[in-house]
Amino acid sequence: MPNRRTFLKNLSSGLMVMGSGVLLPRHAWADAFSISPPTLPDGDMAESILASLPGKNPLIKRTYRAPNYETPVEYFNQMFTPNDSFYVRWHLSGIPDKLSATDWRLKIGGDSVNTPIELTLDNLQNNYEHVEIVALNQCSGNRRGFFQPHVAGVEWGYGAMGNARWTGVRLKDVLNKAGIKKDALEVTLNGAEGPVIPQTPDFIKSLPLWKALDENTILAWEMNGEPLPHLNGFPVRLVVPGWTGTYWTKMITEINVINKPWDGFWMRIAYRIPIGKFAGIDRFVSQERPTDTMTPITEMVVNSLMTNIRNGQRFHLGQPVEVKGIAWDAGRGIRLVEVSTDGGYTWREATLGKDYGNYSWRQFSYGFRPTKKGRYDILARATNRAGSTQNFELIWNPAGYHHNVVQKVSVDVV
């Protein structure tokens, strides 16, 4: 197993570090995965290499410290993203090497609980009803790298997301055990991730009480039927279906119910979008002051992605072409996916795959047979049951959130 020094050396030399420790040069894997679309900033294109983290298949490196690695799009042809290929997102570099399931504790407290409690993993697993939910976890900044002009932050492509089955217990059952006072307003969330220097603010998030008490918000210890991978939050993480991944606290260790808005950096300053720019999404109103022009990001917007065809791919005249992809939203459910093969002039309805619940992505497919040679511009757009659909023009915002512009893939028929 390579040590940290050799691992960094291999990253800089463009080698892919397989889980087995075998090193492969760039030319051996460049055609196997779509590493980065050419619209990413030049520096990020140069840094886009496949590399393995412990317990992971090769992922696309965005930053090494803190570790931020995205899943190659090819894995999204599966309904459930494999644990060893699931994207990795951390904000701070102080990540415990390993938390012991035996020693792990979760403290429930705050000014607005009646009886603070401390739970072990055994307490959590044996004293509360188990639930399972299929839900998409997506980083708030997914597709940030496609913003024009570019904005600061991790320059993600398409792969800062994954769909999984999550098993755990309802957060509301645990909070009700501690007893919630009538003045409760928000619930703060803290994990074992920490800053390297004291000047860096700890990564603490909050949820409005109503979202924390939603029956679909859970404390999960399993992902796709297996214990959470270390880099995805072992032993327990929060799952907040429909909301972006910033609220899905990993390695969660402390939850406090409070009677006033949490004013930490990661709520008051970071992860905010302009008020009124994105219609039809839930607002975190207790985090808004009368003079604010920004509000916390909350729900995901309706979106889709084609997963099995690439720009520049070639097909022969008369050859059947199948377009596959996925579509998702914040939980209202996907009603329709349409595909165009002529750059958006005409649209045809795609076939939707099995419905695994409103918080899961929905697979779609569309087949056609090209009748003439030349360039085919293929587009896909999703519409949810509330009538919201994807945008054709980017809604620019300074943090690079909610990129849901209709995707175009151009293929050649020869």
**Residue-level length of the chain:** 414
Last residue of a domain, one of 243, 272, 296: 296
In this predicted structure, the answer to whether residue 43 has a pLDDT above a threshold of 70 is no
Measured CA to CA, the distance from residue 241 to residue 135 in angstroms comes to 6
Number of domains in the chain: 3
Together in a domain, 73 and 170: no
In this predicted structure, the answer to whether residue 228 has a pLDDT above a threshold of 70 is yes
In a domain, 100, yes or no: no
Q: Which domain holds residue 16?
A: 4-89
Together in a domain, 403 and 314: yes
Q: What does the pLDDT look like over 123-153, one tens digit per residue? A: 999 999 999 999 999 999 999 999 999 999 9
Together in a domain, 200 and 271: yes
Q: Tell me, what's the pLDDT at 42? A: 58
Q: What secondary structure letter does DSSP report for 300?
A: P
Q: What is the pTM of this model?
A: 0.90
In this predicted structure, the answer to whether residue 84 has a pLDDT above a threshold of 60 is yes
Q: How far is CA 59 from CA 12, 27, 62, 78, 107, in A?
A: 15, 16, 9, 16, 34
Q: Tell me, what's the pLDDT at 10? A: 43
pLDDT band at 22 (very low <50, low <70, confident <90, very high): very low
Together in a domain, 149 and 275: yes
In this predicted structure, the answer to whether residue 23 has a pLDDT above a threshold of 80 is no
Q: What secondary structure letter does DSSP report for 255?
A: E
In this predicted structure, the answer to whether residue 218 has a pLDDT above a threshold of 60 is yes
Q: Where are the alpha helices (DSSP H) in 13-132?
A: 26-29, 42-47, 121-127
Q: What does the pLDDT look like over 301-340, one tens digit per residue? A: 999 999 999 999 999 999 999 999 999 999 999 999 999 9
Contact 108, 206 (CB under 8 A): no
CA neighbor of 331 nearest in space, from 288, 388, 405, 375: 388
Measured CA to CA, the distance from residue 320 to residue 197 in angstroms comes to 57
In this predicted structure, the answer to whether residue 192 has a pLDDT above a threshold of 70 is yes
Together in a domain, 288 and 387: no
Together in a domain, 185 and 273: yes
Together in a domain, 77 and 62: yes
Q: What does the pLDDT look like over 330-374, one tens digit per residue? A: 999 999 999 999 999 999 999 999 999 999 999 999 999 999 999
In this predicted structure, the answer to whether residue 29 has a pLDDT above a threshold of 80 is no
